């Protein structure tokens, strides 16, 4: 028998996985966890408090995930650094696994969802795009939020974060062998959603909604 629908989405930053995860969660009426927020919260709180990142990870509260500063690139860089520490990853593991394996099913997005958090997920998506396309999107998004940025800097920081996330020893960013690869370099959000949905429906999962 087919178990609950667990959708594991991985990929580098600004590839479109957050938007895709939110749309799939709404379509299938599943709870969604943006796991990057956990690492962002640990990175920022450790920086602000001077406490050990591993210790911060054990004491994380739901309210810590509501800080608007978590969306900044500074938080992204801090997250990428603490995410390389095995102690931090270990301390965040159980919470993520519990979320993934709740009875309703779930959507999770991050870097190691299909490889470490729920390798048994029936649906795994690896969402990627060229560095150029991702930096362009990120630059546009930051400007729309009124932040003053220059594209070469956005691109350089993104390349640095990609390298750190992919080359670390602990749970590096990589596609699970059975992941569906979705390159969104030339796709908008609607096209990415349609391609992902077609893949999921081919696996026999359909929305129970109207």
Given the rule CB under 6 A, which residues bind ligand DC? 13, 35-36, 39-40, 76, 79-80, 83, 110-112, 161, 165
Q: Of 57, 46, 45, nearest to 93 (Cα)?
A: 57
Cα–Cα dist 87/133, whole Å: 33
CB of 177 to ligand DC, least distance (A): 18
Whether the CB-CB separation of 131 and 155 falls below 8 Å is answered with yes
CB of 204 to ligand DC, least distance (A): 27
Compute the least distance from the CB of residue 35 to ligand DC, in Å.
4
Residue nearer to ligand DC on the CB measure, 111 or 139: 111
56, 49 contact by CB (below 8 A): yes
Residue number, 159 or 207, with CB nearest to ligand DC: 159
Choice between 174 and 207, CB closer to ligand DC = 174
Between 112 and 184, name the residue whose CB sits nearer to ligand DC. 112
Closest CA to 18 of 37, 40, 42: 37
In this structure, the number of other CB atoms found within 10 A of the CB of residue 144 comes to: 8
């Amino acid at each position: 028998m087919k178990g609950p629908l667990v959708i594991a989405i991985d990929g580098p930053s600004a590839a479109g996985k957050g938007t895709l995860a939110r749309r799939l969660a709404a379509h299938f009426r599943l709870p969604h966890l943006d796991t990057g927020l956990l690492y962002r919260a640990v990175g920022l709180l450790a920086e602000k408090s001077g406490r050990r990142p591993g210790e911060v990870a054990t004491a994380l509260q739901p309210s810590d995930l509501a800080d608007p500063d978590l969306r900044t690139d500074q938080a992204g860089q801090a997250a990428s650094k603490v995410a390389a520490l095995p102690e931090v990853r270990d301390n965040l593991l159980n919470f993520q696994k519990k979320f993934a394996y709740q009875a309703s099913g779930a959507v999770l997005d991050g870097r190691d969802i299909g490889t470490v958090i729920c390798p048994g997920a029936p649906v795994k998506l690896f969402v990627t795009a060229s560095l150029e396309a991702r930096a362009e999107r990120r630059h546009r998004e930051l400007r729309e939020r009124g932040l003053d940025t220059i594209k070469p800097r956005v691109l350089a920081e993104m390349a640095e974060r990609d390298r750190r996330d992919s080359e670390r020893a602990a749970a590096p960013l990589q596609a699970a062998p059975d992941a569906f690869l979705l390159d969104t370099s030339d796709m908008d959000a609607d096209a990415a959603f349609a391609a992902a949905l077609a893949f999921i429906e081919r696996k026999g999962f359909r929305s129970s909604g109207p």
